[in-house]
């Protein structure tokens, strides 16, 4: 099976099992995932929910850039999924899933950390933290 890259910006709830099934490959012996989940607080303040907005076309381009960077730095990574949800998300819902596969695990942990750090640095996604006393826009970048 050729390497797979999945890049998505979506308003639909993220389905982990469906995403991981798209990465299934008998050549893979390792799979690591990161799930960014909406929590009920931020910087000591209660959070009611989050609202994510993105510039979708540019977000897809920069997510692809991250996948390309991973393939250069960690050539043994086989499959890459970078999926971010936008819209209103309630506490406990998944906002982002990053999944990487390879024949062996060692390089995957560093590549996964790199992926989420780069996503927060360069992908044009913004979130509004809605609190009991108001709301504040924060940049994911």
pLDDT tens, residue by residue, 96-135: 999 999 999 989 999 999 999 999 999 999 999 999 999 9
This prediction's pTM: 0.95
CA-nearest of 33, 32, 27 to 103 is 27
Task: Decide if domain 5-139 falls under CATH 3.90.1170.40.
Answer: yes
Cα(64)–Cα(134) distance, rounded to whole angstroms? Answer: 35
CA-nearest of 111, 119, 109 to 36 is 119
């Amino acid at each position: 099976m050729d390497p797979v890259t999945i890049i998505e910006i979506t308003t639909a709830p993220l389905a982990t099992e469906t995403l991981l099934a798209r990465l299934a490959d008998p050549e893979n012996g390792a799979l690591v995932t990161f799930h960014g989940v909406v929590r009920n607080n931020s910087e000591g303040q209660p959070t009611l929910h989050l609202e994510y907005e993105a510039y979708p076309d540019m977000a897809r381009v920069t997510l692809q850039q991250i996948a390309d960077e991973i393939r250069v730095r960690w050539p043994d990574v086989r499959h890459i999924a970078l999926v971010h949800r936008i819209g209103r998300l309630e506490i406990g819902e998944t906002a982002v899933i990053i999944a990487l596969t390879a024949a062996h695990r060692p390089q995957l942990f560093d590549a996964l950390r790199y992926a989420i750090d780069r996503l927060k640095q360069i992908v044009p996604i913004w979130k509004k933290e809605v609190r009991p006393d108001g709301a504040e826009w924060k940049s994911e970048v």
